[in-house]
Amino acid sequence: MKVGIVGVGHGKFGRRSDATVQELAFEAFKAALEDTKNLERKDIDAVIIGSSPEYHKQRSIPGVITEYIGMNDKPTWLTEAACASASAALMSAYMAIKSGLHDTVLVLGVQKMTELNTAEIQSLMGRVGDVQWESIFGTTFPGYYAMYAAKHMNVYGTTPKQMAKTAVKSHHYGAMNPYAMFQKEITIEKALASPMVADPLRVYDCCANADGAAALILTKDDLAKEFHETPVWIEGTGSASAPISVLRRPDMTSIPSAVAAAKQAYKMAGVKAGDVKVADVHDCFTIAEIIALEDVGFVKKGEGGKFEEEGQTYIGGKHPVNVDGGLKSKGHPVGATGASQTVEIVKQVRGEAGKRQVEGADIGLTHNVGGIGQYCFVNIYGR
C-alpha cells in the first residue's frame, strides 16, 4: 500500500500578532481542506500536531487545536522533535496509514514563537543542546552553527561570499512567495555588510523566528484519487538521530543524522540523489544549506559552497534548492517548518508552483533537521 498527500495548506509566516496558535492552525487546515475534492472533516481519522510546546502560553495544544478546527472527537496527539516536529508528525501519519490503523490523517505543523521575546527564545533554543555540558555556558543556535561554519571554512575553504550568495538566492525566491516572512531581494554586498551575530555568521546568514502553520492531509492509495486528481506519493522516508552534544560528534562539517536519513530515503524510494529535481533543505543558517547539499548527496563533501557560488541551486541549475525562500526567507516557526517544506514540494511535483516552478519536477526531496542535528527526517516525493 502506498501513502499519498491529497491536500496541502499554508498560512502566512511572520510576526502574527493577529492570530492565536489555534487560528494559525485553522488557517492552514482550511486551505488544505479546500485543496482536496470531496473530502470532509468526517473523512479524517486522526489529527497529529507537530510543534515545540515550550513556546506557547497554552499548554497541551493538540487538544485545544483539534477542538478549535472542529475535529473532536477524533484522536489527536503531539510530536516533538525540535525544528523537525512537523516531519515527525508526517512520519507518524505515514506509519499510522501504512499499518492500517487509520485511512486518512491530518498533519498540522504550527508554532507561535513571538509571544516570547528574543532572549527567551534564544534561551529555549540553546537548551536543545546538552544542558549539562553546553547550554550552561551560554550556547545559542547561531553559536552552534558558527562552529559548523568555521570548521567548514577551515577544512574546505568555504567563504563568507559563498554563504552570502546562498542568502541572496533565498531572498530572490522568497520575494516571489506570498507566504514568506521576508519578501524582498538582497545583494551580496548588503549580506556581507550586515552585523555579525556569531562569527562568521552575519544577520543575513541567519533565519528569523516566526509564527505560522502548514497542513497536510494523507491517505492510502485506494482512496487518494477520490480526494485529489494528482496525489503526491511518499516514495521514501528516512530518519535518524545523532548525539545531543556536539562534543561527541565525530565531524563538525556534517550532520550525521542527515547522511543516514538520506541513505534510508533513497534506498526505500529506489532513486539516487541525481534523480531529485527539486528540494527543500533545512537552511536555518546559510552554512546549514551548504552542508545539507553535501549530506544528501547533491555534491561531494566540501563542494557545497562552490555549488552555491555557481548558482547551481537556482531554478535552471543542476539542483534547484529552497526555491520557496527556505527558512532563511520564509522564517522559521519551528513546529511548522517540516510541513511547510512538504507543501512546497507537493506543489512543485504537481506543477503548481507558478513562477517558481521547476520544470520536470517529478521527484522532490525534503530534509528537515531538529535541534543541531539530534534528529533528521528526509522524504522523497513523486507523482
Distance (Å, whole) CA 57 – CA 78 = 16
Is residue 56 within 8 A of residue 116, CB to CB? The reply is no
Residue carrying C-alpha cell 477542538: 67
Residues taking part in catalysis: 83, 332
- Judge whether 122 lies within some domain: no
242: domain CATH number is 3.40.47.10
Q: Is 154 in the same domain as 42?
A: no
Q: Is 161 in the same domain as 56?
A: no
Nearest to 16 by CA among 207, 206, 179: 179
Res. 107: pLDDT tops 90:
yes
Confidence of residue 154 (pLDDT cuts 50, 70, 90): very high
- Judge whether 125 lies within some domain: no
pLDDT at 128: 74
pLDDT at 134: 82
Look at the chain and report how many structural domains it folds into. Answer: 2
Alpha-carbon radius of gyration of the chain? 19
pLDDT at 277: 98
- Could you tell me the pTM of the whole model? 0.97
Q: What is the mean pLDDT of residues 265-274?
A: 98
Res. 247: pLDDT tops 90:
no
Q: Is 31 in the same domain as 83?
A: yes
Res. 138: pLDDT tops 90:
no
Q: Is 26 in the same domain as 105?
A: yes
Q: Is 139 in the same domain as 44?
A: no
Q: Is 328 in the same domain as 355?
A: yes
Q: What is the pLDDT of residues 17-61, one digit of tens each?
A: 999 999 999 999 999 999 999 899 999 999 999 999 877 777 789
Is residue 162 within 8 A of residue 204, CB to CB? The reply is no
Distance (Å, whole) CA 114 – CA 108 = 19
DSSP, residue by residue, 314-370: STTSSS-B-TT-HHHHH-B-TTTHHHHHHHHHHHHHHT--GGGPPTT--EEEEEEEE
Res. 123: pLDDT tops 90:
no
Cis peptide bond upstream of 200, omega within 30: yes
Distance (Å, whole) CA 221 – CA 326 = 30
pLDDT at 140: 86
Q: What is the pLDDT of residues 341-377, one digit of tens each?
A: 999 999 999 999 999 999 999 999 999 999 999 999 9
- Judge whether 174 lies within some domain: yes
Confidence of residue 120 (pLDDT cuts 50, 70, 90): confident
Q: How far is CA 244 from the centre of its chain?
A: 20
Q: What is the average pLDDT value for the chain, to the nearest integer?
A: 95
Q: How far is CA 66 from the centre of its chain?
A: 22
- Judge whether 124 lies within some domain: no
pLDDT at 118: 78
C-alpha distance from residue 104 to each of 12, 227, 378 (Å): 25, 10, 22
Res. 117: pLDDT tops 90:
no
Q: Which residues contact 165 (CB under 8 A, 6 or more apart)?
A: 188, 308, 309, 311
Res. 129: pLDDT tops 90:
no
Q: Is 16 in the same domain as 142?
A: no
pLDDT at 136: 80
Q: What is the pLDDT of residues 209-242, one digit of tens each?
A: 999 999 999 999 999 999 999 999 999 999 999 9
Q: Which residues contact 233 (CB under 8 A, 6 or more apart)?
A: 2, 3, 4, 5, 221, 381, 382, 383
Domain span holding position 46: 3-117+210-232
